[in-house]
Amino acid sequence: MELNAISIGFVVFTIFTLGGGIGVVTTRNLFQGTIWLMVSLFGVAGYFVLLSAPFLAAVQILVYIGAIAILITFAVMLTRSVTRIKTRYIRLVPSLLASLALFLILLLGVTMPIFGGVSPEHAPATVASTRDLGAALVDENGYVVPFLLASVLLTGAMIGAIFIARDDTA
Amino acid sequence: MNVLNEWAFIGMFAVLAPIFPALPIVIAWLFRPRKPNVLKSSTYECGVETIGDTWVQFRVQYYIYGLIFLVFDVEMVFLFPWAAAYNEMSLFGFVAGFLFIFLLTDALFYAWQKNALEWK
């Protein structure tokens, strides 16, 4: 591998992503696991920067670290005995098999266009900008139906959460 | 090397910014006297002794607030590219964006009606 800024960045972000992931699965404290997850998600945001997708990097930080990690923190804090949960389940063989199978599926999915992806030699030369993304989101031949479905899904999530929480407190 | 130029400042910030809070801690660790006793190393909050366990169970209301925040966070994520393409958009795209906002305003109205925004 050629030693330039991108390859150094790749190594640094890989250390963040994998190190955070190792932290998540090895710590026995759920709260510390959440912090490690944020480190891992930050590394993924760095990958998006290296792939010339700054908007997705910002989304990764805002939504995953800013919102989803906070929700996980709250969920951990809602559990009754936060740090006293002794999670010590060691199932080495099943977890190794599961992670190996997932790795192989993802490897095939990335290297071969079997999930409807585009192979590297057919990829467009120009990188789609945020403006192209916005135009495709509301284009009648593009992604307007998923775009509006996302809004329905968000509405449903919010109404459902309020309904369940109200039922709990009433 | 275009990526480098655009992100060099953020990269420099990412390296330099942690040094600023770390440096006083390291300096203090180097020069402080080390004479701990039971009273000094006891836990306190704003100078007052703590009552009960620090790891208390949080109220579910925090989670609702977090979830409502997440919903509008994701809305912003969708609306930003929409706004970036605003000038070259057809009437259909304009209406689709407003339908998106309307549906989520609906959810906000529901939360307001059910007093989910009030801290009880």
Query: Whole-model pTM?
Result: 0.75
Q: Which residue type does B35 have?
A: K
The answer to whether B66 faces chain A, any CB pair under 8 Å, is yes
Cross-chain residue pair A131–B84, CB shorter than 8 Å: yes
What is the enclosing helix (H) or strand (E) of B45?
strand B44-45
Please state, in angstroms and rounded to a whole number, the distance separating the CA atoms of residues A123 and A105: 21
Hey, are the CB atoms on B85 and A134 less than 8 Å from each other? yes
- Give the closest of B70, B75, B116 to A68, CB-based: B70
Name beta bridge partners: B48: B45
User: What is the CATH topology of the domain spanning B3-113?
Assistant: Methane Monooxygenase Hydroxylase; Chain G, domain 1 (1.20.58)
Q: What size, in residues, is chain A?
A: 170
Cβ proximity of B50 and B44 under 8 Å: yes
pLDDT value at position A170?
A: 44
Q: How confident is the model at residue B54 (pLDDT cuts 50, 70, 90)?
A: low
Residue B3 contacts A, CB cutoff 8 Å: yes
Q: Is A131 on the interface with B (CB under 8 A)?
A: yes
pLDDT tens track for B103-117: 888 888 888 888 777
Cα A152 to the center of its chain, rounded Å: 21
Domain boundaries, chain A: 1-85, 128-170
Residue-wise pLDDT for A117-170, tens only, equals 566 666 666 667 788 888 888 777 778 888 888 889 888 888 888 887 775 544
Taking CA atoms, B106 is separated from A153, B75, B100, B112, in Å, by 12, 13, 10, 10
Give residue A83's pLDDT band: very low, low, confident or very high (50, 70, 90).
low
Contact A64/B at CB under 8 A: no
Q: Cβ–Cβ of A147/B110 closer than 8 Å? A: no
pLDDT 10s digits, B7-31: 788 888 888 999 999 999 999 999 9
CA atoms within 13 A on the CB side of A27: 17
Per CATH, the architecture of A1-85 is what? Up-down Bundle (1.20)
Interfacial B residues in 46-65 facing A (CB < 8 Å) = 55, 57-58, 60-64
Among A78, A133, A157, whose Cβ lies nearest the Cβ of B57?
A: A78
Contact of B68 with A158, CB cutoff 8 Å: yes
